[in-house]
Amino acid sequence: MTMHFVLALHSHLPWVLHHGRWPHGSDWLCEAALDTYLPLLEQLHALEREGTPAPVTLGITPILANQLAHPSFVTEMEHFVEERLRAARAAPEELSRTGDHDLIPVARKWLERIERLYRLFEDLDGDLLRAFRDLEDRERLELMGSAATHGYLPLLARDESIQLQLMHGFAEHERLFGRAPRGCWLPECAYRGRIGDAPERLGIEEHLADAGFGFFFTDAHLAAAGTPLGSYHDVPLGAERFDAERHDADTDGVRPSVRTPYRAYHVAREGAAPVRALVRDPRSSMQVWSRHRGYPGDPWYLEFHKIRWPGGLKLWRVTGPDADLGDKQPYVLGAAEERTREHGRHFASLLEDIMRDQQGVGDVIVAPFDTELFGHWWFEGIDFVAESYRRLAKSPTVRPATASAHLRRHGAAPRLQLSEGSWGANGDHSMWLNDQTRWTWDRLHPLEHRFWNVARSAVGDADRREVLAQAARELLLAQASDWQFIISTGAVTDYAEQRFRFHCNQTDRMLRAIENDTAASSAAMARDARELRQRDDVFPNVLDTVEAILNNPTAPSA
């Protein structure tokens, strides 16, 4: 007997192009590309040359894909890499002058790495989307879609807003990758069913089916197959799930339950298009997720938080779980590489142990993570993934597979009603709706109502279409779950608040122009929309989706 192993990597950043560079503008995007996306491509190509199966199920959110496809990204990447190269070239001499000789080999390794990865970027003509699409063409991975801007769907005020997030996310994936996605990364794994006192408000799985998605990922506690893993305490901007410390407390970290995370479930309503949920396995996830209980906290791995300025080079190792930044020791290249191999072996062995424990109960082990955990937060993480796949290629009991490949093989699945919640702190919505963020929803919900109230009349008016399209873009950008998350962590709160207010203000500005439209104002209204689009240049066909929603005879009303 064998079990499938599905590794799902979720890639997402909010729209940062044309909103500054450092520290949370385009540098944020370029850092993710240099630290994570390019090393991932490099290792996937290496595994392909070796003939080692590495069927990653890779999500790239539409808003991230729009940025990676934008001409500005190549220009920003060139600037970012040049800054990094300048620092890496100067570091050895500077470290020699300060007597930090143990750090010089690490600095030289950084220079070699940055130069190598940028050569790969140039070889790809800066087109990372095409590189991932080519791997999918060769059946080396599966690309999945997501909501347009990673909106927190259960808390949106209108079903039309949820439809716009999912339907346009589906359409954008098809536009940018040339094929329709089968699966959806549900933002923050956030789910709710039908609203009891408003039965016309559909459940999230119904919206997924209507948009064309066939599967999504959910956390174990939403399927009553474990307790919440997610924790966001004391983490910096972007860390998200990295510091997870909650875990299932009984035997080997797995709480016995009437349901198992080791199989997929049907969650769509009877008679609807089939939608299946793949459930996160708490046991294997904790081993990778937690820097205190898992691999990333190994003392020989690169320390994320201690950074040499200028240039952003990281030259020290974790050293110990309680080591102060001032006590961090120099990074040792060979030691970290050996630990990566050992952890890859251990992880493959852990999956085989799970298979033996679940024999006759389940048929899949699902491990979903933020892609940026690997390479960016956990420097050695992508090498660990590659080593795990090499070990699994020799396993007689665990076979890596994409999500769709597993679901094709195991078509039958029991029906399940998920609980409401997310993979965030406490397993509920509280990371996104709390005393610090409630004002954002108070601001956002009226804008949603206003948008859909004017959309029907404006969408068919040639003079107002351009303005309505930009209002839709700004509303979608304001809905990104990132803003509430950043506010709740307490990290760079002012940045998140400024960005949220900016997009809300621009949505309001566009809507007021439509609501107060006169013949004399039409030209000025369109000019303002065009100028704003130069900054927030996303989703060229957004009105096609708005029209499809408005023309749907079953579309909900206000």
Q: How far apart are CA 333 and CA 354, in angstroms?
A: 32
Q: How far apart are CA 209 and CA 215, in angstroms?
A: 9
Q: Is 37 exposed, middle or buried (0-12, 13-18, 19+ CB in 10 A)?
A: buried
Q: How many alpha carbons lie under 13 Å from residue 36 in its C-beta half-sphere?
A: 21
50 is catalytic: no
The active-site residue, picked from 370, 383, 387, 517, is 370
Closest to 469 (Cα-Cα) out of 533, 405, 408: 533
- Three-state helix/strand/coil letters over 384-405: HHHHHHHHHCCCCCEEECCHHH
Q: How far apart are CA 205 and CA 191, in angstroms?
A: 8
Instruction: Give how far Cα 532 sits from Cα of 73, 74, 473, Å.
Output: 18, 21, 10
Q: How far apart are CA 302 and CA 331, in angstroms?
A: 6
Report the Cα 209 to chain-centroid distance in Å. Answer: 21
By the 8 A CB rule, do 489 and 233 touch? no
Report residue 400 as tokens: 């890596």
Element (H, E) at 339: helix 333-357
The active-site residue, picked from 142, 188, 474, 482, is 188
370 is catalytic: yes
Q: How far apart are CA 146 and CA 166, in angstroms?
A: 7
Instruction: Give how far Cα 325 sits from Cα of 45, 304, 315, 336, Å.
Output: 36, 10, 12, 19
By the 8 A CB rule, do 313 and 91 touch? yes
Amino acid making up residue 275: V
Q: How far apart are CA 310 and CA 312, in angstroms?
A: 6
Q: How far apart are CA 182 and CA 519, in angstroms?
A: 45
Active site residues: 188, 370
